[in-house]
Amino acid sequence: MKTKKPNLEHFWKQLEDVLVPRLRLGPIDRAAYCYLLRHSRLERKLQLRFSMPWLAQGICLGPDAARRAVRRLVDYEALRLVERSTAGHVVEVRLPEEILADHPPKAVPAGHPEHSTHRHTWPAPGVNLEEEDFLRTNALRHAIHAREAGHCFYCLRLLTPPMKCIDHVVPRAQSGNNSYRNLVSSCRECNAQKGPCRAEDFLRSLFRERKLTERELAGRLRALDALAAGKLPPPLPSGMAPDKRAPAAPQRRARAVSSTPSKTPSTCHPGRREGK
């Protein structure tokens, strides 16, 4: 996807005079951001696919340092993580003016850029959550993690902060969006193993590998159906009054269909494993 090439003079002034001091970007994060921006937006590409060894070589650092820099840039919202797999990362690299729009002057306390996640505002009362991009801010991403109560949506393991990430149930490459209906909290292992395969097939592969019991598999498949139906909205801060998430009439029809006696209950048949 081609984008308009930014004004280089304006971009450089915003980067040096505003973005770096406001976010307190260190030299490693700054080098990683500039290198990724150079190969994406300055080439009129909105998204960039890259590997950590490629980035590490480009900024003359080790892969671990490059990986940590990317994670910090995602936290700063300088990058939007679209996809991550063993084949590499796909990110949307944001321009300084786009980043600054989410970081007003007093939004980031000095010396603690990560604490700005608690100051992001949620959608104003009355905003339709069905249209919200839940990768837009850290607060929205944390809401997805909070919905799963600290567990991986797929394998149900308890997650520590370094282990968790956001996974697209329907991958972006298959037209999956950033709606709360298509995002789940996942461990990094499941995120990497799932890849482009269907979520139902991936859950059945976990059952075959004995990472899920038969009852857990059935529960996860029901959770997938509930997620797609909009029945698992993320928790909202107190005092927020969102619009209706789905029209009332379709929900009544859905319950009526699910309660008809002619529909046989789903049983857990692992099925054969599909190739990725």
Domain spans of the chain? 1-103, 128-236
- Say which CATH topology domain 128-236 has: DNA Binding (I), subunit A (1.10.30)
Question: What is the chain's pLDDT, residue by residue, as a tens digit (276 residues)?
Answer: 455 666 777 778 888 888 888 878 888 988 999 999 889 888 888 889 999 999 999 999 888 888 888 888 888 888 888 888 777 888 888 888 888 776 665 433 434 444 434 444 444 455 577 888 888 888 888 888 888 888 899 999 888 888 889 999 998 888 889 999 999 999 999 998 998 889 999 999 999 998 888 888 999 999 999 999 988 888 765 444 455 444 444 444 334 334 334 443 343 333 344 443
The pTM for the full model equals: 0.45
Angle, helices 214-228 vs 199-208, to 10°: value is: 170
Q: H/E/C letters for each residue in 130-149?
A: HHCCCCCCHHHHHHHHHHCC
CATH class entry, domain 1-103: mainly alpha
Closest CA to 157 of 208, 211, 196, 193: 211
Q: Is the dihedral of CA 192, 197, 202, 208 positive or negative?
A: negative
- Residue 88 pairs in a beta bridge with 85
Other Cβ atoms less than 10 A from the Cβ of 212: the count is 21
* Tokens (6 digits) for 180: 């709360």
Do 1-103 and 128-236 fold alike per CATH? no
